Each structure stands twice: as C-alpha cells, then as structure tokens.
Amino acid sequence: MEYIIIGNIFGIIGLIYSAVAYHKKEKKDILKLLIISNSLSLIQYMFLQAYTGCITIIISIIRNIIALKKRDKNENIILAIFIILYIVMGIITYNSIFSILPIIASIIYVIGIWNGNENIIRKTGLINMYLWLIYSISTFAVAGAIQNIILIISTHIAIRNNREEVCKEK
C-alpha cells in the first residue's frame, strides 16, 4: 500500500510540470517540461508495477530529448524507429486490452511531436491524455488519472487561448 502512495506522490509532482508545459509558447519549452514530467511519471508507474507504462515512458523521455535536439524535420527514419519500438514494446508487455492504450497514445503523440508545431503537440497531447487516463484507471494510478483529467482540462484551455491569440494577431 505504501508503494501506491509513494508512486502517486511522484505522479502529483509530475502533474505540476505537465500542467505548465502545454501553456508554454515554444515547442522547446513544452518538451523540456514534459521530460521532467515524464521522469516523475516513470517513477510513479515503477512504484505501481505498471511496466507497460514504465517502458512507454522511458521511450517517451528519449523521444522528447531527441525531438528537442533534432534540427531537420525530415529525420523520419528516427520517427519510424520510435514507432517500431512502441509496437515491439507493446507486444512484449501485453497483458490486457488496457496495456495497449499507452502504445497507441505514444504512437499518435510521437507523430505530433516529431513534425508538428506547438498547436499540433497540444492536440495530439489531448488524444494521448485521454488514452493514458483509461490506462491509469485500469492500473489504479490515482494520481495518474487525476493528472490526466486536470491536463485534459488545462490543455483544452491552452488550445482555446492559443486560438484566441491567433485571432487577435490577424
């Protein structure tokens, strides 16, 4: 029981970083905060023994670091490697229909991060969050579920605010 509590504490701290990330204006700032948030979520899922989530998050951290450093939008071979990694990891760690949700979420999100602008990252992030919400509920990751609910609301607000800013600029 104490492992669940400790894990969820890390998830709550990660929530703070995620909530701020999607309100950032620059892609690099979004990715930096998501690296911190993902690292904390990794610890959360390790304590909860949710191994599909752990492996998915490890790949996501690496993905975000590479996306942060990449210079050419056409580095699609690296993108393909990430998608293959997610699929292989999903096959290896499969234990229920719920365990494939992080895989689907991560594939959608890696495509958004790889070639998208800040708004595409936010929108694919929403799909990611909805799927992770279901996974968190299925693994009893209370902080993860709360985190995703808050992030879904926060990201909808960020998308709306971004639309309003774009309209004001025109």
105-133 per-position pLDDT tens digit: 989 999 998 877 888 999 999 999 999 89
| Number of domains observed in the structure of the chain | 1
Residues of the chain with confidence (pLDDT) below 70 = 71-74, 166, 169-170
Q: How many CA atoms does the CB half-sphere of 106 hold within 13 Å?
A: 32
Q: Which helix (H) or strand (E) holds 61?
A: helix 51-69
Give yes or no for a contact between 58 and 22, defined as CB atoms under 8 angstroms apart: no
| pLDDT tens profile 67-87 | 888 766 567 888 899 999 989
Report the pLDDT value the prediction gives residue 73, as an integer from 0 to 100.
59
Give yes or no for a contact between 122 and 153, defined as CB atoms under 8 angstroms apart: no
Give yes or no for a contact between 37 and 18, defined as CB atoms under 8 angstroms apart: yes
Give yes or no for a contact between 147 and 114, defined as CB atoms under 8 angstroms apart: no
Q: Given the structure tokens 């985190």, which residue do they identify?
A: 147
- The residue range of the domain holding 13 is 2-169
